[in-house]
Structure 1
Amino acid sequence: MGTFYNSRLLEWMEVGRSELTRAAGIPYVEWEKRGVMAPIVEANLKFRGRAGYDDLLNIETSCEREGRARIKFESVITQGETGQPVAEGFTIHALTNPEGKPLRIPQWVNELLGDMTE
């Protein structure tokens, strides 16, 4: 079809989330070491344009609280050279302990969210 396979969008959004948490000072792998898991409970994807093999893309990701035990990551993906839109969307993540029991957003995550939204 001359464009990326649609499931790649979720992978690109994961890259955006990972880089955002890393840039804010606590990579997601550290969240899990601290006992905070963040499984996706909802995803919304909008396909806006095309991207082909080996295209350079920009991924802009932001994060906000979504209630007491959830966070929302929003992503906008554009062509690196032209800025043309490729896709946008969001994922909502429930915060849980390793056994899957919901957790309120821990204080250190609240502080990190502040760093990611400023």
Structure 2
Amino acid sequence: MVISTKEIEVRYAETDQMGVVYHANYLVWMELGRTGLIEELGYNYAEMEKEGVLSPVVDIQVSYKKPVRYGQKALVKTWVAEYNGIKVVYGYEILNNEGEIALTASSSHVCVKKDTFRPISIRKSYPEWHEAYIKAKM
């Protein structure tokens, strides 16, 4: 299984009044992890968008375990948890400075045509990308 890692330096603006990372910022970090994984697999989401294809989030599950604070570094781990040729489920773990799991999550995505928002098959439209997902999941 391919697991992409991305280090995040926590900025003050990402924290809340309690001094911990505001919950919505983890979603941004998950996007950074997902984009990094796709790039590690040799593909580029921005290029797909230029072709009129989007990949919206259709479901997201997040479980917060430990706080991450300003001045710390977080490590975002991202992988392909499930894939069926149409829907991709990415798995995530975000670790705090001490290497403890701060968050576990998953996000589900489908590819759609930008003009109609109708789903497309990654398997048919992007066969090389499809194969990369299959291999990354092993």
TM over 0.5: yes
Which of the pair has more CA radius of gyration?
A: 2
Distance 1:60 1:5 in 2: 19
1:95 has 2:111 as partner: yes
Mapped contact 1:76–1:87 kept (Cα < 8 A)? yes
Deviations 1:1-59 (A, max 9, x none): 23110101111100100100011110211222343311001000000101011311111
Specify every segment of 5 or more residues in structure 1 that has no aligned partner in the other structure, as ranges.
none
Percent identity between the two aligned chains: 23
Q: How many aligned residue pairs are there?
A: 117
Q: Trace 1:105-116 onto structure 2 (pairs within 5 A).
A: 105-106=122-123, 107-116=127-136
Distance 1:47 1:57 in 2: 14
**Runs of 4 or more consecutive aligned structure 1 residues displaced over 6 Å after TM superposition:** none
Q: Structure 2 residue aligned with 1:8, among 13, 22, 25?
A: 25
Distance 2:71 2:135 in 1: 32
Displacement, 1:60? 0.8
Displacement, 1:97? 1.2
Q: Structure 1 residue aligned with 2:99, among 64, 71, 83?
A: 83
Distance 1:67 1:115 in 2: 13
Specify every segment of 5 or more residues in structure 2 that has no aligned partner in the other structure, as ranges.
1-17
Question: What does residue 46 of structure 2 align with?
Answer: 29
Deviations 1:76-98 (A, max 9, x none): 0002x421111010110111111
Distance 1:74 1:114 in 2: 15
Displacement, 1:104? 1.3
Tell me how large the CA RMSD over aligned residues is: 1.7
Displacement, 1:111? 1.4
